[in-house]
Structures are given as structure tokens and as C-alpha cells.
Structure 1
């Protein structure tokens, strides 16, 4: 289903920097009526508030805390589009003394965080026939050894996103799964990636993909290479209807 940003109310988790901040700006530039900035530190959005005034509303929220996200959904009960962008990506291999702790942390934010957001906003999005956008990664399709636990957590979130496509999609909600490669953000720098791909490539891609009614978005050059290799499996397995 095609979703236009114009005159819509949106919410973006992790809206204070990087891809999240770019999504906020792209949405406003494309005519969004209002964007909720869901962040852990409410002082981190002052720049966006100064630039956009009453078009943005900051709300404290933590995707790793169920009560926090349920409270967020109560406060932002007029949303048409929810973008679950907040995530963590600490470099860690599959081996190590603290691998279980690291994996549990990344699952808590990247996978359980999606579950919390989806469940908290499901009713509102069903009523609005709105959209849920989940920031996954090319790492959800391939395990990168130095990002093994991150890759596994994103594989889980991608699988859950497919489940949401089936369940919420049947109720008129558009689901978009976004799979960037390395993007010029603090997270990419921490992971050791050197890239020229900007956050705006992702944010503008989201606007276009929502309008096109897509399920997958591979926004940057590396991601598009992955898309080319993955397309057959996507069409014949992920997007196929096995109910018959």
C-alpha cells in the first residue's frame, strides 16, 4: 500500500543523530505535519527543536524498556508512521568470555525493541492504516565475523519484521524493512567501516519506498549489490505465499 509522508504524523526512535535525525529531516521536508522524536536523552534534540519548532515533539523513550514504550504509544497516539530506528551495534565476534552478555544486550535493543514498538503501536497503526518502518541491515542477511552478535540480532529483527508483514499487513498496515550497508554514522565508524554513503540516502529511500508500497529497501551502493544477489530468494521465499 502506498503511503505518502505529506500531512502525516510520524514517530522516529533514536531521532537525535545519524540515520534517525536524517529521517526526521526528510519527513519534514516532504511535508510531514509533525514528527515525534523518541530518544533516551531529551536534551539531545535541541538542535532539531530549534530548527523545526512545533513540527517536532521530543518524548523520552527507551526501546529496551517495555513500560517506556507503552507510555510512548499513549502519548503519541495520533501517529500514522512509526520508524523504529533505535539500535545498537557493538563490534563483537562469536567467541569471547562476554559474548553471551553482549548478544543478550544487542537482542534486547535490536530485536525485543522491535517487538515492544510493534505491539505498543499496533492498534493505532491499524486504525490509521499507517506504516511501520524497521531499520534492519545487510547484516541481517549475512553474518559479518567482527559484528557476529550484531548480525545475529539483526537477523532476528528481520525475521520478526517478516512476521509483522503477515500479521499487521493483513490489517492494512504497511511494513517496510530497511537494509542499509555501511552508512557514514558513529556506529559505522565504531565498527571500522569507511564509507561515503550518507544518512540521507537511507532517509530519502524510506520516503520513496513508502510511496511505492515496498517491503524491502536496500538504499546504498553496497546494499543494492546485496539486493541483486538476494532478489530471487526474496521473491520466491520471503515474499511468497505458502498458505495455499
Structure 2
């Protein structure tokens, strides 16, 4: 089974609320080293934490990170972005491109770049942070990009399984961070989310449904569209 004890972990988006929790919890569970990456990495008061500049939308930056961190055994694709507009018709072209690059292409390209490194390790792991909105298309391009990442994660899982790389997809609704400050719905504590993710990883699970919303929305994938989106009934009335 994958384990954090003695692991070398690389976390994208480590400056944020969820990323910071991943850093601390990985060390608490025995990680030997954590690469805490961000476009502008912060300073950490722990010699086990290595700040590393990484822009997941830039191929040269990704390659530089691979060269700087050849000992990684656990990759956590946590970095993400959102835009306030709820619909793809109201987004600007730049908002759409930016979200696709940050939420879909960035994590995919990071995983592809680190795949040879991870494939050479025993019990290596990739963790991709998706969203419950992968399965609920009410957040415009954000929903679309997270759905795309979900599909890509499933493909990576199949392709990397022969090399022994364990791939975990994480779904969660709102988390109590600055990115979800606008939301009025219940929010999950980042510490609870991270503990849930690591427990699932070390149990060998492939998918994490971190809250009730994620459980309900995945179950809704087999439901009639009118049940998931009742506004369609009103439209056809």
C-alpha cells in the first residue's frame, strides 16, 4: 500500500489553504521531505520543507521542477483557480483559456512530466484534486475543467497502473479557504479534507468523495438529467 512514511512529496499550490494543510499533514504522517511549490513560493520554518517555484501553466517551469525534484514519490496536484461568472456564455475568452490551463492542462502536464520519475519508484502516488462540480455543471468553465481533469485522472490511473503508480482522484464541494469565501453553502475544514485524502491514499483507495455533496452528485450521474437539473423541466413545460 502507498505510505507517507519516508515519502518525498511535491504539492502544487502549496501557498493556499488546502496546500498548506497538505504540507503540514504530510510531515505529521512521516514524510521525509515536502516540495512546497507555487509561482512565488513562501518561506517555511522547517528544513524538511523545500520551497520550489512552479508555474503549472508553463512547460519550462514544469521541466525545471522535475529536474529539481527527481526524488519525488508522491505528487499532489492541488493548484487550481476559479472565476466568479457562473456560465460559459458569460466568461471572457481569457477566463476560459486561463481556467483550462490551470485546472486541466496544468495538472495533466505536471503528471505527465513526473510520470517517469514516479514510475521508477516503489509505491509512488499521484493525487489529483477535482471538485464535486465535476459532476454538476453549474459553475461554467470551472465545472468543465474539473470534469476534464476527472476523466484525465481516470486515464492516467489505467496507464500508470502497470508501473505500480497509484492514482487517486479527490472530489469535494466547498472547502473553507479564501477561494470559497464567496460561497454561503456549508464548507469542509481543509484539515479534515487532507486527513481524509491521506487516509484513503494509505488504504489504497482510488477515489475520495470527501463530503455528502460529492456522494450525492456522483450518485446523480445515473439519474435522468431532469432530476439533476430541475430547471430543464421548467424550460420544457
Indicate whether the TM-score tops 0.5.
Answer: yes
> What's the TM-score once normalised by structure 2's chain length?
0.88
Select the structure of larger CA radius of gyration.
2
Higher helix share: 1
2:136 and 2:217 in contact (8 A); partners too: no
Aligned to 2:208: 217
Aligned partner (choices 88, 101, 107) of residue 94 of structure 2: 101
Matches of 2:200 and 2:219, distance apart in 1: 17
Aligned to 1:134: 128
Query: How many Å apart are 1:177 and its aligned residue?
Result: 0.3
How well do the aligned residues superpose, as a CA RMSD in angstroms?
Answer: 1.7
Aligned to 1:82: 75
Aligned to 2:228: none
What are the ranges of 5 or more consecutive residues in structure 1 without an aligned counterpart?
A: 233-244
> What's the TM-score once normalised by structure 1's chain length?
0.86
Aligned to 1:28: 27
Higher RCO (C-alpha 8 Å, min separation 6):
1
1:184 and 1:194 in contact (8 A); partners too: no
Aligned partner (choices 34, 42, 62) of residue 69 of structure 1: 62
Alpha-carbon spacing, 1:121–1:231, altered in 2? closer, same or farther (3 Å): farther
> C-alpha deviations, 1:16-74, integer Å up to 9, x for none?
121111111111111111100011112xx22xx12xx1110000110010110111011
Matches of 2:134 and 2:204, distance apart in 1: 21
Aligned to 1:38: 37
How many residue pairs align between the two structures? 221
Aligned to 1:162: 154
Query: How many Å apart are 1:81 and its aligned residue?
Result: 0.1
Query: How many Å apart are 1:91 and its aligned residue?
Result: 2.1
Runs of 4+ in 1 over 4 A off after TM superposition: 227-232
Query: How many Å apart are 1:99 and its aligned residue?
Result: 3.4
Matches of 1:231 and 1:210, distance apart in 2: 26
